[in-house]
Chain A
Amino acid sequence: MIEFNSVSKVYRGQRALADLNFLLDRGEMAFLTGHSGAGKSTLLKLIMLIEKPSNGEVLIDGQTLTKVRGSNIAKLRRNIGFVYQSHHLLSDRNVFDNVALPLMVAGFHHRDIARRVRAALDKVGLLSKEKQNPATLSGGEQQRVGIARAVVNKPPILLADEPTGNLDPQLSAEIMQLLHDFNNAGVTLLIATHDLALIAKMPHRSLILRQGQLIGGGHLSDNAAIERNAPADLGGHS
């Protein structure tokens, strides 16, 4: 589903990613971890076509991203849900309208929009708050609205950049469980996080970055099942 082939990214002389190779299968869930500045956000941005690789190629579902241009970039982004640490909710509209945004830009009919938005809000347990302004919600609730927005158009891929960064352990566990549920429903998930304790509790592969290099997790890409049963030397499971 997501494939990196010898991908490097250099920001004005500053190397962020070096010669990355990995493959994430359809329906797989993986963590992306590493020290601050290791290149986690950069990696996700390459998938979202926010940045372009300096070298190598990123493929999604067999399609090379460097060849995607113009309005196809927008269309590709509709297939990828993105959850941020700072949720990026718009404060000039209510929760419902925030979650509806991806459907509006994709040209859904308003009756489908209402149905899908309510379904997404229901899934994150915020159906009762659809009329509220996101600024009046707690941090955990805002994060869940962000997740609802990311999944509202049922994208096959969900990326999250430190989705639990600002939350206490209890809330973090809830958010992770929520993301895990989406994976159970068949969504391919890649979650960048510092929260090693949380990762340790979940039976998923971890891609470990150090100074832009993949030092663990990548080589097992061909068969995620092996990783799950292997010893926890790479922080891959509990």
Chain B
Amino acid sequence: MRDTPLKQGATSPMLSWRDQLRVWRDSHRLFAKQSFDRLWEKPLATLVTLTMLAIAIALPTLLHLGVKNVSSWVSYSDSGLEMTAYLHMPTVPGQSITDFNSEGQALALRVAQLSGVKQVEFISAEDALLRLEAIAGAGSIDIIDSLPANPLPAAIRVVVGQGPELASIANALAQQIEVLPEVESVRFNLEWFQKAQAIVQLVLRINLAASVLLGMGVVLVIGNTVRVSIASRREEILVAKLVGATNAYARRPFLYLGVWLGATGAAMALIISFACMYALTYYIKPLEAAYSTNISIQRLSADTALVIFLASAGLGWVGSWVICSNQISKLEPE
């Protein structure tokens, strides 16, 4: 069987592959624009749909932000249990601070070799003071400055990797570090970490379930909108098919419709999320002033925002495709 049933070349264009690509791109551009314009032919219905989508996308986004902020306020890190090894104050007479710090760095590298250690960081006494100032806020600088010498010891921050036997590994590690001659004491709070971890895990799981459900909601809402749109453009699809449109061609404007809905819904959801974060900052300002402390607010990162945007557009495409794949091929001229 031949691909083109008739010999005449007139009915199909004779184009170089470059021109074919250009035609393909132009037609996609046209469909994208047409679909977007059609969204606003019924502005009220579109706004209702978009609001539903925005809420469905904003909810898990805000929950994600909530977890991120609360975690950071209680300095819980998902990467593992934090352990702090405080070092003895420098005692060797005549030793410079630089020498002391480079010994500390070397010690940190040795600690990093111990089993169970995921990450180490040497915090010099000066760094520790700077951090305290940042946490304690502007009001405390005078008090700190009035001290004759830096009262803080240098320390090594050790992150113990997550695992099923975290408790025994952490205890063994603490013992190993504590016997090092440079180390004065080791502190960690296993019980608190495990509780925090359990709560964070639970919230994350709830958020995952909510995201899946709301994602399905997004697919369904977009699918339904696309179905209505196909029904109202029945005549156009039939005529296009009669003059030789393939199913793929007839599907295209509706796939764009789905993508536009997903993307616009996501954009609105991101605006809502940013607005919420802004409001939070606004309410936290007086708290910061009153306690003269810095509460750092974890914002939505650009990466996460991009993922949310692309995922929503993708869900729009999926929702539209599911509907198109059975509705468009069913529509045949009679």
Q: Closest approach, in angstroms, between the C-beta of A151 and any C-beta of chain B?
A: 10
Tell me whether B332 and A109 are in contact (CB under 8 A).
no
Tell me whether A108 and B6 are in contact (CB under 8 A).
no
List of A residues within 8 angstroms of B3 by Cβ: 72, 75
- Best-buried of B22, B241, B333 by chain A (most CB within 10 Å): B333
Interface presence of A135 (CB below 8 A): no
- Best-buried of B11, B23, B334 by chain A (most CB within 10 Å): B11
Complex: how many Å from CA A82 to CA B241? 12
Tell me whether A79 and B20 are in contact (CB under 8 A).
no
Closest to A82 in B: B242
Residues of chain A in range 106-125 having any CB-CB distance to chain B below 8 Å: 106-110, 112
Interface presence of B168 (CB below 8 A): no
Complex: how many Å from CA A45 to CA B5? 17
A195-219 to B contact mask, C-beta < 8 Å, 1/0: 0000000000000000000000000
Tell me whether B244 and A77 are in contact (CB under 8 A).
yes
Chain B interface size, under 10 / 10 to 19 / 20 to 34 / 35 or more: 35 or more
Interface presence of B10 (CB below 8 A): yes
Interface presence of A104 (CB below 8 A): yes
Complex: how many Å from CA A90 to CA B246? 18
Interface presence of B193 (CB below 8 A): no
List of B residues within 8 angstroms of A90 by Cβ: 235-236, 239
Which single member of A67, A68, A78 contacts B244 (CB below 8 Å)?
A: A78
Closest to B26 in A: A110
List of B residues within 8 angstroms of A60 by Cβ: 5-6
List of B residues within 8 angstroms of A74 by Cβ: 241, 244-247, 249
Interface presence of A5 (CB below 8 A): no
Chain A interface size, under 10 / 10 to 19 / 20 to 34 / 35 or more: 35 or more
Interface presence of B248 (CB below 8 A): yes
Interface presence of A10 (CB below 8 A): no
The stretch that binds B, out of A15-23, A28-36, A153-161, A221-229, is A153-161
Interface presence of A76 (CB below 8 A): yes
Interface presence of A61 (CB below 8 A): yes
Which single member of A50, A77, A107, A149 contacts B20 (CB below 8 Å)?
A: A107
Interface presence of B330 (CB below 8 A): no
List of B residues within 8 angstroms of A233 by Cβ: none
List of B residues within 8 angstroms of A77 by Cβ: 241-244
Complex: how many Å from CA A105 to CA B12? 10
List of A residues within 8 angstroms of B92 by Cβ: none
List of A residues within 8 angstroms of B8 by Cβ: 79, 154-156
Which single member of B1, B13, B248, B333 contacts A108 (CB below 8 Å)?
A: B13
Which single member of B5, B27, B249, B333 contacts A79 (CB below 8 Å)?
A: B5
Closest to A50 in B: B333
Interface presence of A88 (CB below 8 A): yes
Tell me whether A112 and B6 are in contact (CB under 8 A).
no
Interface presence of B240 (CB below 8 A): yes
Tell me whether B12 and A101 are in contact (CB under 8 A).
no
Tell me whether A154 and B11 are in contact (CB under 8 A).
yes
Tell me whether A105 and B245 are in contact (CB under 8 A).
yes
List of B residues within 8 angstroms of A149 by Cβ: 243
Closest to B236 in A: A90
List of A residues within 8 angstroms of B2 by Cβ: 63
List of A residues within 8 angstroms of B236 by Cβ: 90, 92
Tell me whether A153 and B333 are in contact (CB under 8 A).
no
Tell me whether A102 and B243 are in contact (CB under 8 A).
yes
Residues of B bordering A, CB below 8 Å: 1-8, 10-13, 15, 19-20, 22-24, 26-27, 235-236, 238-249, 332-334
A78-B11, A107-B24, A154-B11 known, 7 other contacts, Cβ within 8 Å: A63-B2, A71-B248, A74-B241, A74-B246, A75-B3, A88-B239, A107-B27
Could you list 5 examples of A-B contacts with CB < 8 Å?
A60-B6, A78-B12, A88-B235, A90-B235, A101-B239
List the 8 closest A-B pairs by CB distance, nearest first: A78-B244, A154-B10, A102-B243, A105-B245, A74-B246, A77-B244, A71-B246, A79-B6
